[in-house]
Amino acid sequence: MNNRKRRVADAAQQLFVQNGIQHTSIQDIIEKANISKGTFYNYFSSKADCIAEILEGLRYDASQLRMEMQVGKDEKDRAIFVDQIAVLIQLNEERNLSVLFEAILNSNEKELKKLVLQHRLHEMEWLSGRFIDVYGPQIHEYAFEATLLFFGMMQHILFALRTTNMPNTTRQAVSVILSYMDLIIPKMVEDKSKLLDDASIHLLRSKIDRMAITKQQLMDLAHHIEQETKFTQEQRDLFDAIISELQQERIRKSVLKPLLKPCQLAFAKTPQETQIHTFTNMIWYYMKGI
């Protein structure tokens, strides 16, 4: 990483935590970092770019520490797994970033909110992969939902511990909640039970990771589905009606919306069910933006 750029981001971070983002000017950052205005704009175009660098630096530091912990160790080692999860939380606490991130998520700053949500998605993807490492490939389709359950419990436990000044450490909290997951994950697999289907998870990732869904993305997915599917007459009629409406210069939401649920039902329990759910969910999300 660029060390000088990182130092400027660190200076910005201190000011953001101390004064808040809205009350920190670019000039404040320039003075705190003891650089010229030209140097600042050589690295960043805005305060949002500083936040992006802060988040990237946080992920980089956590990944380096996690790799160091795991070198030469069994990937299923429970103690290492606990330490790897705890390290990002500890870095957040050491740098006083948790309050900053919560303030961003409760603000009207859409660009900054997106950066924080993307950061959280990166962490969820990492933990989802590690759950598969530790619990085995048979939990693959349940791993992301298990990750959401873990982070939900972790967030509220940490809130309670901080509010009540309980002496428990972050590592202890991670270890205890993982012991709960030891019971929950096998139960999910045994019952084949999850609240979120693949299409919902895909949409969640899409909403966080992309600026917007475009008509071209919809048409590309439609083309892919068409190439792989042998339609019944009902499926073909519904699918063609949706495509026809999407191709209109002015999409009529009142016409398109009533087609989505019947289309999902027409493909229920078929090999294309997940793709159709993804497709119709993306259309619904696309319509919200037009």
With a CB cutoff of 8 Å and minimum separation 6, the contacts of 235 are 229, 263, 266, 267
CATH of domain 3-191: 1.10.357.10
110 burial class (0-12, 13-18, 19+ CB within 10 angstroms)?
A: exposed
pLDDT over 90 for what percent of the chain?
A: 46
Average pLDDT, the chain: 88
Give the single-character DSSP code of 270. Answer: S
| Tokens of residue 5, six digits | 């750029």
- The residue among 107 and 12 whose pLDDT is bigger is 12
With a CB cutoff of 8 Å and minimum separation 6, the contacts of 243 are 219, 222
Residue 284 has pLDDT above 90, yes or no: no
| Tokens of residue 91, six digits | 């870095």
pLDDT grade, residue 268 (50/70/90)?
confident
pLDDT 10s digits, 210-238? 545 778 888 988 998 998 899 999 999 99
Residue 1 has pLDDT above 70, yes or no: no
- The residue among 286 and 23 whose pLDDT is bigger is 23
pLDDT over 70 for what percent of the chain?
A: 96
Domain segments of the chain as ranges: 3-191, 210-288
The pLDDT value recorded for residue 84 is 95
pTM for the whole thing? Answer: 0.69
Taking a C-beta distance cutoff of 8 angstroms, is the pair 257, 283 a contact?
no
